[in-house]
Amino acid sequence: MTLLIIIPALNEGAHIAAVLESLTAQAPPDARIVVADGGSTDDTPAIAARFPRVTLMPNPGRLQSAGINRAVEHHGDGCTLLLRADAHAAYPPDFIATLLSELSHTGVASITVPMRTLGPTPFAKAVAAAQNSLLGTGGSAHRTGAGGRFVDHGHHALMRLDAFRAVGGYDPTQSHNEDAELDHRLRAAGHTIWLTGRTHLGYVPRGSFAALFRQYLKHGRGRAATTRKHRLRLKPRQMAPLLVPPALGLAALGAALSFLHPLWMVLAVPALAWATICLTYGALLALRQHSLPVVLSGPAAMTMHLAWALGYLTAPRRPQ
């Protein structure tokens, strides 16, 4: 079985070298490794070009989904397996071998992996605490759940190329949530998805509240595109953040009307309850981890909730 490894990248000069060093060291000798570059303006292409085993391919579509589809089209002939890797991640030295073993034992179409957020800086440590907890993910299987089981969706890692091609690959118009959208089509076609418990990847989060907000705004829009395309219902954990913007709107209304009568501030109770839960949870995480920066996990989770909800609610509708 020949493995095609695809790494979508855009301005990942700070991380791409470590990723390529890790993956080239553990990839089978006949594996093909492609960096699909979406037009980086930093040194990402120059760094990738230093690795003899790596093919640098331009991705004019810029989106990860479009880049992976293009790499499969141009470099996938003769390959039977697709490994989707992330330029913003850290991989254990036995990552590829473990995935190949899992696929051989399970016979599924797709092996997904748990995702553990790393904290190389104080702010990243706070975001990691939020994203690795129920507060930030709502119990998403590949974030907080145990591996070694079948799932509806997980963080993409290894996939059979025949299954990927049979369902049409990724939706090249989706910038986010394209993996969950593809998983829906895989399952609809009768394929199975396995979440391994034998390995994982480490993810480096965004470095500021503004960057985190922009990321989750796009995540919300991506989820909206998936649910509308396939007429899906949101799970309770996905619906909960949608209550945040109305709660904040009620709080603003209550504050505006409070000059008429202080009782109008009762409208702020839902927003205050949400903030209290998040901030208290963040403080408890900080105590549990004995780390002061983790106190910011509460505000980080609030940023994620609000941005995701706004992205979902304001996502443009596609023409039918």
Split at pLDDT 50, 70, 90, the class of 318 is low
Tell me, yes or no, whether 22 and 161 share the same domain. Answer: yes
The answer as to whether 221 is a domain residue is no
- C-beta separation of 238 from 223 below 8 A: yes
Q: How far is 206 from 100, CA to CA, in rounded Å?
A: 30
HSE (side-chain half, CA atoms, 13 Å) at 114: 20
Tell me, yes or no, whether 164 and 248 share the same domain. Answer: no
Average pLDDT of the chain to the nearest whole number? 93
The predicted pLDDT at position 116 comes to 85
The answer as to whether 98 is a domain residue is yes
Q: How far is 299 from 6, CA to CA, in rounded Å?
A: 34
Split at pLDDT 50, 70, 90, the class of 135 is confident
The answer as to whether 42 is a domain residue is yes
Q: What is the 3-state secondary structure (H, E, C) of the chain?
A: CCEEEEEEECCCCCCHHHHHHHHHHHCCCCCEEEEEECCCCCCHHHHHHCCCCEEEEECCCCCHHHHHHHHHHHHCCCCCEEEECCCCEECCCCHHHHHHHHHHHHCCCEEEECEEECCCCHHHHHHHHHHCCHHHHCCCHHHHCCCCEECCCCEEEEEEHHHHHHCCCCCCCCCCCHHHHHHHHHHHCCCCEEECCCCCEEECCCCCHHHHHHHHHHHHHHHHHHHHHHCCCCCHHHHHHHHHHHHHHHHHHHHHHCCCCHHHHHHHHHHHHHHHHHHHHHHHHHHHHCCHHHHHHHHHHHHHHHHHHHHHHHCCCCCC
CATH number assigned to the domain comprising residue 104: 3.90.550.10
12-35: pLDDT as tens digits: 999 999 999 999 999 999 999 999
The answer as to whether 240 is a domain residue is yes
69-107: pLDDT as tens digits: 999 999 999 999 999 999 989 999 999 999 999 999 999
- C-beta separation of 158 from 2 below 8 A: no
Tell me, yes or no, whether 268 and 172 share the same domain. Answer: no
The predicted pLDDT at position 120 comes to 81
- Whether the pLDDT of residue 199 is over 80: the answer is yes
- Whether the pLDDT of residue 141 is over 70: the answer is no
The predicted pLDDT at position 145 comes to 59
Q: Tell which of 206, 239, 269 closes a domain.
A: 206
The whole domain housing 192 covers 3-206
Q: Tell which of 150, 173, 206 closes a domain.
A: 206
Tell me, yes or no, whether 182 and 288 share the same domain. Answer: no
End-to-end CA distance of the chain: 40
% of the chain beyond a pLDDT of 90: 80
The predicted pLDDT at position 320 comes to 46
The predicted pLDDT at position 299 comes to 97
**Mean local confidence (pLDDT), 25-52:** 96
The predicted pLDDT at position 47 comes to 97
- Whether the pLDDT of residue 268 is over 80: the answer is yes
The answer as to whether 64 is a domain residue is yes
Q: What are phi and psi of 117, to 5 degrees?
A: -75, 135
Q: Tell which of 172, 206, 240 closes a domain.
A: 206
Tell me, yes or no, whether 193 and 239 share the same domain. Answer: no
The answer as to whether 320 is a domain residue is no
Token output for 45:
């292409």
- Whether the pLDDT of residue 126 is over 50: the answer is yes
The answer as to whether 259 is a domain residue is yes
Is 0.85 topped by the overall pTM?
A: yes
**Mean local confidence (pLDDT), 210-235:** 94
The predicted pLDDT at position 223 comes to 95
The answer as to whether 148 is a domain residue is yes
Tell me, yes or no, whether 109 and 18 share the same domain. Answer: yes
Tell me, yes or no, whether 119 and 199 share the same domain. Answer: yes
**Mean local confidence (pLDDT), 233-257:** 94
User: For 38-42, 261-265, 299-303, which range has the lowest pLDDT when averaged over its residues?
Assistant: 261-265
Tell me, yes or no, whether 292 and 259 share the same domain. Answer: yes
Give the other-Cβ count within 10 Å of 49's Cβ. Answer: 13
- C-beta separation of 39 from 56 below 8 A: no
Tell me, yes or no, whether 150 and 196 share the same domain. Answer: yes
The predicted pLDDT at position 147 comes to 78
Number of domains in the chain: 2
% of the chain beyond a pLDDT of 70: 96
